[in-house]
Structure 1
């Protein structure tokens, strides 16, 4: 992790909240946490914006949250600016044969 541990821990906690129910399915939480200009690249190559993420998660409320099946490892943060952190980690399946995926996200306070 980078040297600013307070921001690092906050960013990791927020990223984990995006993987956990019930916060993953809470539109009020997501509207606050996700930047209006955010984009996500899915494994299929599809690009999601905030509106599509909110829509997709609202319709998947009965499905298990990924945190029930996945584990965040090799966590690293890089401070890009005083209030901006790059989070890099591996997401791997607990008990499944799938290879870990490499993930990154940029968080701005």
Structure 2
């Protein structure tokens, strides 16, 4: 069952919570939870330059790292699509990245369809 979002502030909070959840080791290593958050057609341009797809690449979960999210913002692309942008400090690898995700609403359930990480200073 999806979460009904009332306004932009509530949606921003909801999507930020989902993004933060994707940073947690217990979620990153749990394919069933990843399946609930990532759309079937999800793909990612990783900060390494590698292209990742949900099917095949994430079946066994994601790598576990200690990461901190900051400067989270959203912009509507349509009534059913939102661009989220933010920064990540990956303490495990001593890296900082700019991140962007596209979220799609399908029957009141928001799922990530695209993600990109770009290394920064």
Shift of 1:47: 0.5
> How many residues in Structure 1 have an aligned counterpart in Structure 2?
99
User: Separation in 2 of the partners of 1:16 and 1:6?
Assistant: 15
**Relative contact order: is structure 1 or structure 2 higher (C-alpha 8 Å, sep ≥ 6)?**
2
* Higher helix fraction (1 or 2): 1
Structure 1 stretches lacking a partner, 5+ long: none
State the match for 2:89 in structure 1.
Answer: 92
* Higher strand fraction (1 or 2): 2
Equivalent in 20, 36, 47 of residue 16 of structure 1: 20
TM-score norm. by structure 1 comes to 0.77
Structure 2 stretches lacking a partner, 5+ long: 1-6, 106-121
User: Separation in 2 of the partners of 1:47 and 1:41?
Assistant: 5
Shift of 1:55: 2.9
TM-score norm. by structure 2 comes to 0.70
Shift of 1:82: 1.7
